[in-house]
Structure 1
Amino acid sequence: MIDSTRDQQLVNSLGRQNVLFVSDFFYPNCGGVENHMYHVAQCLLLAGHKVVVMTHAYGERAGVRFMTNGLKVYYIPRLPFYEGNTFPTIFGNFRLLRVILIREQITVVHAHQAFSTLSHESILHARTMGYKTVFTDHSLFGFADGSSIHTNKLLKFTLADTQHVICVSHTSKANTVLRSRIPPPRVSVIPNAVDTERFLPGPESRPPAPTINVVVISRLVYRKGSDLLIDLIPMVCKKLEHINFIVGGDGPKKVSLDEMVAKHGLGNRVEMLGNVTHADVRNVLVRGHIFLNTSLTEAFCIAILEAASCGLLVVSTRVGGVPEVLPSDMLILEEPQAENLCAGIERAVQLVPTTCPFTFHDRVKEMYDWKDITRRVQVVYARAHQTHSDELLPRLARYYTCGRFAGKLFCCVAVVNHLYWGFLEWMFPRKDIDLAPDVPSPGDLDNTPETPTGSNSNMRDAPDVHT
């Protein structure tokens, strides 16, 4: 909830905002970042704000599309280059982003995910044009490997001139502050939530005792602990004869999991579902008693919330922000080792008969609500309007402190970007850019029923608009 009267006053004084969400990760791709953006966008629309999303094209999905409650999505003509990210161009997307910012009369640019090159570039361009910016970090990074070092340096550059930062857990906040060296007061912790109206318990779908189903729904990649799962499943099946596994998800480690199932003759005890769409996740979860998360790093893990909302007892690795998600009687934490997780599952098997799925659901519903999350995001937007000078020299001073060599490089990038902006203003004047008509927001209409924010099944296509 909003913590103070001052915060409530900030929200009341905010007024209608035109918000641009930017990330390389959005529907039709499925994941925690995509779900977070979609749900917050829907709640902002219901609160009377305007929300537009900018992401890259997904195959034939390009141009402008509309989703539930008039959520407008620009699928810009850029293709993913590596793990869903577009190729970093620094200045290549400025012209198109400028048109969208002016056309949609944006007041706040909200970028998501440190992995997203589109997010980093949009913050630079938006700040050059004087827009207020907010950044949400959904991930944890290390400090020693080459990839983390370069990503952290880029994040330091981006956040040096960002008005406010949101992290999804306190662990994530500590990680982000250390990586980017920004003052902690500029970082707020706002967790993810879950649409409890969609993730309802269904105990009737479970097999009769003594059989117990353990459900795993995850991308089958190293970071999600797929190698750990390969060692764990045979160990559990050998110790506990009434345990079956349901594994949903796809990825490069799926082949190894299939080989493990064949090698140990577990075809009748391990059900491999392959890719599971988000619309079908609930139908898979309600078949289980226990949800297993084997992630090696996790800032929050919304999958745990979805499972608990469906009444499953959760067994998870003790990593990142996971210990913050649920209370200890709903979440069994173990070190990321097969032997420890096997012991955790044995403990969970003993507790399953004493758990009530509907009690779990009610507790999750009370703890996590997207409307509350969105109110807190609105406080951040209000605070963003009260900070940071938009003039070039103060911005350069902030970039200069980013490192002995990197700081000077960042200053050069900012100056070139500023000059390029001046060229765009001369070559393509603002008066020649048509303003987009506003789609009425559900929050502006009387007696408008609230469409469940968890569903994007009624996504409809609009004619492509090329700008």
Structure 2
Amino acid sequence: MPYNIAMISDFFYPQPGGVESHIYQLSSKLVDRGHKVVIVTHAYKGRKGVRYLTNGLKVYHIPFFIIYREATMPTVFSFFPIFRNIIIREQIEIVHGHGSLSSFCHEAILHARTMGIRTVFTDHSLFGFADAGSILTNKLLKFTLSDVDHVICVSHTCKENTVLRASLDPLMVSVIPNALVAENFRPLSYRPQMGERGLGVPPRIGPNDTITIVVISRLFYNKGTDLLIAAIPRILATHPNVRFIIGGSGPQAIDLEQMLERNVLQDKVEMLGPVRHEDVRDVMVRGHIYLHPSLTEAFGTVLVEAASCGLYVVCTRVGGIPEVLPQHMTTFAKPEEDDLVLATGKAIAALRSNRVRTDRFHDQVKMMYSWTDVARRTERVYNGIKGAISEQEFYGHYPGASWDAARGRTRSFALIDRLKRYYGCGIWAGKLFCLCVLIDYLLYVFLELWWPRANIDIARSWPKKPVPHPDAAAAKASRNTRERIRASS
């Protein structure tokens, strides 16, 4: 059943990143499956108003004040008039918000519930419980998710973190990982594999050959830039035939450059600066190892992209990273300087001994991750909250008599039921949340009277593609596979 969906987040292209890529790829695949999707984000430099992307994907760039790392200033109510106009113009049935730190996302879910629209939230991040920033973020998340229909997390670790932070029922949370377009991340000398023996020629690295380590990341503290700065001189001192390529920008880029000057390593470390997402593959295929020293990560799409390009991955064992790739593609390290240097040395030794068949990584990753599969599973969530499938099919069993319907997919839009859910968020916070909901409801009534729906023009929908039958798609995939095998033999 096709739906009209609004994807809402502060984080979208042209800014590169995992959340941005997730929203774009998921939206594109949902459009391919016959749904109408619009994306609502804030204005970026040079991008305001309405833009059309591939497949007729419409993007609303709304001019709002940015406060930190492309997140807009939270205003609670000022977004409502524009949001209501977009929802009515595009005839939206489901609002899907992304990102715990996105003000647009939180406000959109609140306004959508006030307007009687089903909502979904996707969490892409991990947060702690002790520092002031995490406490405030978790309270905001609890406010938003007290009245949401369903939550999606990108890893099982992320699910556990979100359930604890927002005091959610685990049945309300589904795990749907990120993915990649494997064709866009092929190794330089790619040949399709067939069976266990394979048709590709495994790369050979001699004892004196140069090994290139690639790092592509935002240069922030949580991405492990301090670890990287400490580890690079030690790795290069131990392994003279190693070079680094570092792509990315951030506040700690100056610290990285100062380290290179202190240790006179400019000839061994190439700094690329910001790298566009479409250029990531061209950078990765220049290397042999991908180093990811992150301190916290819910999933790590860049790890999948690196493995798909045929790179051996060295990463920290934090968050949802251990769930991303199988063990033969990775060497794990503790988020400590000594262990990261040791793990990198093990990876270099494994490549020099030719024990790792990186030529097989692309085909293996291609089988594991697909945006089409992510879209299909997300569509199932939409069917569940809209009542298109039964509770038994959606949850896998009957919740039973003890199931509280107010916590299930059938969440009531009645104001009194919503106030009950918010009131339980804390002695003082609960009262504040109820006040916000009441003001939001009164603002909605005022907008309905002051700016009637009849005065808002309905936007024309982009012509939809015919949705291919699943059997036809499977037959086409099988035919393409046979043609590739014949071409390679």
TM-score, structure 2 length as denominator? 0.86
Q: Distance in 2 between matches of 1:70 and 1:77?
A: 22
Q: Distance in 2 between matches of 1:60 and 1:367?
A: 37
The residue that corresponds to 1:213 in the other structure is 212
- Output the amino acid matched with 2:375: T
Q: Show CA shifts across 1:206-247 (max 9, x none).
A: 997411000000001111010110100000001111111111
- Output the amino acid matched with 2:145: L
The residue that corresponds to 2:232 in the other structure is 233
Q: Distance in 2 between matches of 1:351 and 1:111?
A: 42
Q: Distance in 2 between matches of 1:379 and 1:160?
A: 22
Q: Distance in 2 between matches of 1:141 and 1:419?
A: 33
The residue that corresponds to 1:158 in the other structure is 144
User: Structure 2: which 5+ residue stretches go unaligned?
Assistant: 191-202, 388-409, 474-489
The residue that corresponds to 2:422 in the other structure is 399
Q: Distance in 2 between matches of 1:267 and 1:59?
A: 32
Instruction: For residue 347 of structure 1, report the CA deviation from its aligned partner.
Output: 1.0
1:273 partner SS: strand
Q: Distance in 2 between matches of 1:281 and 1:349?
A: 22
The residue that corresponds to 2:479 in the other structure is none
Check if 1:94 corresponds to 2:80: yes
- Output the amino acid matched with 2:162: T
The residue that corresponds to 1:361 in the other structure is 362
1:336 partner SS: coil
- Are the aligned partners of 2:94 and 2:118 in contact in 1 as well (CA < 8 Å)? yes
Check if 1:428 corresponds to 2:429: no
- Does 1 or 2 have the higher relative contact order (CA < 8 Å, sep 6+)? 1
Q: Show CA shifts across 1:68-104 (max 9, x none).
A: 0000000012132221111111000100000000000
Give the RMSD, CA atoms, in angstroms. Answer: 1.5
Question: For residues 34-45 of structure 1, what are the structure 2 equivalents within 5 Å?
Answer: 34-45=20-31
- Output the amino acid matched with 1:318: R
The residue that corresponds to 1:223 in the other structure is 222
Larger Rg: 2
1:354 partner SS: coil
Query: Cα 1:179–1:59, aligned 2, differ >3 Å: closer, same or farther?
Result: same
Q: Distance in 2 between matches of 1:360 and 1:407?
A: 50
The residue that corresponds to 1:275 in the other structure is 274
Q: Distance in 1 between matches of 2:466 and 2:79?
A: 32
Given the alignment, which residue of 99, 108, 113 partners 2:99?
113
Check if 1:140 corresponds to 2:126: yes
1:92 partner SS: coil
Question: For residues 171-186 of structure 1, what are the structure 2 equivalents within 5 Å?
Answer: 171-186=157-172
Instruction: For residue 444 of structure 1, report the CA deviation from its aligned partner.
Output: 5.6
- Output the amino acid matched with 1:66: Y
- Output the amino acid matched with 1:275: P
Instruction: For residue 117 of structure 1, report the CA deviation from its aligned partner.
Output: 0.6
2:459 partner SS: coil
Query: Cα 1:339–1:203, aligned 2, differ >3 Å: closer, same or farther?
Result: farther
2:97 partner SS: strand
Q: Distance in 1 between matches of 2:319 and 2:435?
A: 36
1:361 partner SS: helix
The residue that corresponds to 1:65 in the other structure is 51
Q: Show CA shifts across 1:172-223 (max 9, x none).
A: 000000000010000000000011010001159x997411000000001111
Moved more, 54-63 or 434-443: 434-443
Given the alignment, which residue of 150, 162, 167 partners 2:153?
167
Q: Distance in 1 between matches of 2:124 and 2:457?
A: 35
Question: For residues 363-402 of structure 1, what are the structure 2 equivalents within 5 Å?
Answer: 363-386=364-387, 387-402=410-425
Moved more, 255-264 or 419-428: 255-264
- Are the aligned partners of 1:203 and 1:286 in contact in 2 as well (CA < 8 Å)? no
TM-score, structure 1 length as denominator? 0.90
Instruction: For residue 349 of structure 1, report the CA deviation from its aligned partner.
Output: 1.1
- Are the aligned partners of 1:49 and 1:443 in contact in 2 as well (CA < 8 Å)? no
- Are the aligned partners of 1:58 and 1:79 in contact in 2 as well (CA < 8 Å)? no
- Are the aligned partners of 2:179 and 2:374 in contact in 1 as well (CA < 8 Å)? yes
Q: Distance in 2 between matches of 1:30 and 1:193?
A: 16
Instruction: For residue 443 of structure 1, report the CA deviation from its aligned partner.
Output: 4.2
Q: Distance in 1 between matches of 2:180 and 2:68?
A: 29
The residue that corresponds to 2:135 in the other structure is 149
Q: Distance in 1 between matches of 2:234 and 2:369?
A: 35
Check if 1:325 corresponds to 2:324: yes
- Are the aligned partners of 2:328 and 2:356 in contact in 1 as well (CA < 8 Å)? no
Instruction: For residue 350 of structure 1, report the CA deviation from its aligned partner.
Output: 2.0
Q: Distance in 1 between matches of 2:467 and 2:72?
A: 35
Q: Show CA shifts across 1:95-150 (max 9, x none).
A: 00000000000010000000101100000000000000000000000000001001
Given the alignment, which residue of 13, 19, 33 partners 1:33?
19
Instruction: For residue 356 of structure 1, report the CA deviation from its aligned partner.
Output: 3.0
- Are the aligned partners of 2:13 and 2:20 in contact in 1 as well (CA < 8 Å)? yes
Q: Distance in 2 between matches of 1:255 and 1:67?
A: 35
- Count of aligned pairs between the two proteins: 432
Given the alignment, which residue of 436, 440, 443 partners 1:417?
440
Q: Distance in 2 between matches of 1:443 and 1:227?
A: 51
Q: Show CA shifts across 1:35-55 (max 9, x none).
A: 000000000000000000000
Percent identity of equivalent pairs? 52
- Output the amino acid matched with 2:417: P
User: Structure 1: which 5+ residue stretches go unaligned?
Assistant: 1-14, 450-467
Instruction: For residue 262 of structure 1, report the CA deviation from its aligned partner.
Output: 1.1
The residue that corresponds to 1:437 in the other structure is 460
